[in-house]
């Protein structure tokens, strides 16, 4: 029966491949999941962690695949490959170092930190290429060890500390305990990785590599450090990928904010109409009645004085109501834009165009326009349709087409998503769209055909 050490020696190639694959998948998953439009600082910081994962994965695969090329390539080409391979390791650690700097809270960052990793990389280059012979086998071990000591170990610790601080200061206030837990585990994994990858290096003739190295670690533990690094990398990849759900959560909340703003704008419209058509008109009528009563009262009489005071109070009330009406209109001023501009604004909304590709086609005659209120209702319906597409349809492309139907305006919103399920619940969003369509004396219909086509048709005039 073979021992653990013999087992890992026999399966060395598989371990190298799995180790490189773990870190490559970590970087690739971050690239796919990160949102460029995100307001979270983490979205801009994670590109460094993605770069670390991909470059480190290629480095580990180099140990496996570059020796195979010796049968096909000449000596010069092999030297170039080996040079590129050796430089990949410190480059990957520089990316990890920069990730640690990027996730640090702004108050704890210093200008010196931004240049620290570059300076350490410069020191490594000077020592590795000026002090040692490139073609010497010992150079490979020494350059590897120096990269881990100078950049990998401090970079890993800084990344672990920075991610922990960022999690508690930026992610925890979002009230997402599961995501916070994933980031905490990822931070701990980075700290462990800093030790098993930054301090456990190939054996060299200087401290601490002459005491703690890959050989002594394997003797003490019975398992090569590469296995521990692979396990830590798996935990890191799993937790980071799970934690990236924070971007989906952010998108959901931004869409909810948009829907809430639409509801508020609609309520402002309703209140403005009620004030203008109801309260102001009634107060104005009351003022006319009081004014006619003043003319009937005896001049300078007590009744006339009281009626005039009533008139003044009514006039003040009308001014206050008009002031409130003006404030309500200021909240919905976007509703006064033309329909083509409103549709263009919707297509350029980052809440939508970062999630799907939107094209707008407007075939409308210049002489036909909607009132500001009706255009606002149409924009709200289109916004609601876009929010539903982004949330549920899993679509890639959306087309918004506004056309003239003679006596009516017809708008179609077509996506290439999964369509509307047959048993879909009639939620608030769909009810809101239908209610607005009825308010406009129009209709709204849905058709599943390689996606969903939403068709709104309303008369041009009230």
Given 331, 354, 372, the domain boundary residue is: 331
Instruction: Quickly state the pLDDT bin for 411 (edges 50, 70, 90).
Output: very high
Shared domain check, 264 and 228: no
Q: What's the pLDDT tens digit per position in 2-28?
A: 666 666 667 778 888 888 999 999 999
Shared domain check, 432 and 351: yes
Assign 361 to helix, strand or coil.
Answer: strand
Is 82 within a domain? yes
Shared domain check, 413 and 372: yes
Of 61-75, 212-226, 262-276, 361-375, the least confident: 262-276
Give the mean pLDDT of the chain. Answer: 82
Q: Global pTM?
A: 0.61
Residue 335 pLDDT: 45
Residue 334 pLDDT: 46
Shared domain check, 43 and 149: yes
Q: What is the dihedral of CA 344, 345, 349, 352, to 10 degrees?
A: -40
Q: What's the pLDDT tens digit per position in 271-290?
A: 766 666 667 677 777 877 88
Question: How many structural domains are present in the chain?
Answer: 3
Residue 455 pLDDT: 94
**Which residue has better confidence, 312 or 60?**
60
Residue 134 pLDDT: 55
Residue 41 pLDDT: 76
Tokens 């549920």, residue located: 392
Mean pLDDT of 221-242: 89
Mean pLDDT of 156-163: 94
Whole-angstrom Cα distance, residue 85 to residue 67?
Answer: 11
Whole-angstrom Cα distance, residue 454 to residue 385?
Answer: 8
Instruction: Quickly state the pLDDT bin for 185 (edges 50, 70, 90).
Output: very high
Whole-angstrom Cα distance, residue 231 to residue 15?
Answer: 11
Output Rg (C-alpha) for the chain, integer angstroms. Answer: 34
Nearest alpha carbon to residue 231 among 202, 181, 193, 194: 193
Instruction: Quickly state the pLDDT bin for 314 (edges 50, 70, 90).
Output: confident
Mean pLDDT of 196-200: 93
Residue 342 pLDDT: 86
The token duo for 433 is: 């769209």
Q: What's the pLDDT tens digit per position in 80-106?
A: 888 888 899 999 999 999 999 989 876
Shared domain check, 224 and 180: yes
Range of the domain at 401: 339-459
Given 285, 302, 331, the domain boundary residue is: 331
pLDDT of residue 49 exceeding 90, the answer is yes
pLDDT of residue 245 exceeding 80, the answer is yes
């Amino acid at each position: 029966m073979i021992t653990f050490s013999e087992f890992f020696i026999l399966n060395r190639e598989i371990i190298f491949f799995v180790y490189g694959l773990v870190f490559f998948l970590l970087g690739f998953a971050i690239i796919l999941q990160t949102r460029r439009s995100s307001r979270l600082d983490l979205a801009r910081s994670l590109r460094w962690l993605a770069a670390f994962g991909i470059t480190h994965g290629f480095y580990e695969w180099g140990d496996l695949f570059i020796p195979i090329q010796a049968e096909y390539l000449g000596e010069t080409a092999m030297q170039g490959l080996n040079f590129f391979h050796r430089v990949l390791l410190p480059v990957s650690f520089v990316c990890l170092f920069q990730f640690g700097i990027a996730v640090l809270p702004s108050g704890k960052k210093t200008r010196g930190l931004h240049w620290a990793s570059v300076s350490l990389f410069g020191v490594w280059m000077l020592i590795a290429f000026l002090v040692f012979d490139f073609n010497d086998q010992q150079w490979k071990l020494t350059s590897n060890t120096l990269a881990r000591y100078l950049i990998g170990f401090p970079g890993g610790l800084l990344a672990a500390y920075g991610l922990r601080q960022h999690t508690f200061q930026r992610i925890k206030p979002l009230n997402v305990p599961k995501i916070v837990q994933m980031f905490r585990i990822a931070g701990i994994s980075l700290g462990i990785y800093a030790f098993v990858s930054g301090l456990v290096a190939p054996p060299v003739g200087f401290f601490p590599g002459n005491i703690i190295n890959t050989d002594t670690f394997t003797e003490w533990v019975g398992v090569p450090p590469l296995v521990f690094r692979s396990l830590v990398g798996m935990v890191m990849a799993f937790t980071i990928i799970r934690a990236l759900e924070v971007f989906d959560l952010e998108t959901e909340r931004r869409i909810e904010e948009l829907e809430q703003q639409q509801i508020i704008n609609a309520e402002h419209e309703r209140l403005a109409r009620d004030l203008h058509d109801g309260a102001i008109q009634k107060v104005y009528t009351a003022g006319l009645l009081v004014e006619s009563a003043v003319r009937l009262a005896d001049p300078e009489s007590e009744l006339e004085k009281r009626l005039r005071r009533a008139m003044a109070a009514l006039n003040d009330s009308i001014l206050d109501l008009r002031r409130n009406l003006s404030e309500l209109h200021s909240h919905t001023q976007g509703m006064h834009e033309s329909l083509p501009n409103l549709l263009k604004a919707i297509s350029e909304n980052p809440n939508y165009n970062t999630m799907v590709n939107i094209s707008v086609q407007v075939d409308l005659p210049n002489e036909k326009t909607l009132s500001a209120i009706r255009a606002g209702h149409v924009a709200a319906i289109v916004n609601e349709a876009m929010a539903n597409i982004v949330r549920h349809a899993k679509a890639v492309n959306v087309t918004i087409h506004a056309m003239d139907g003679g006596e009516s305006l017809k708008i179609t919103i077509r996506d290439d998503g999964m369509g509307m399920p047959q048993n879909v619940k009639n939620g608030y969003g769909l009810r809101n769209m239908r209610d607005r369509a009825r308010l406009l004396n129009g209709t709204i219909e849905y058709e599943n055909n390689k996606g969903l086509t939403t068709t709104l048709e309303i008369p041009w005039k009230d």
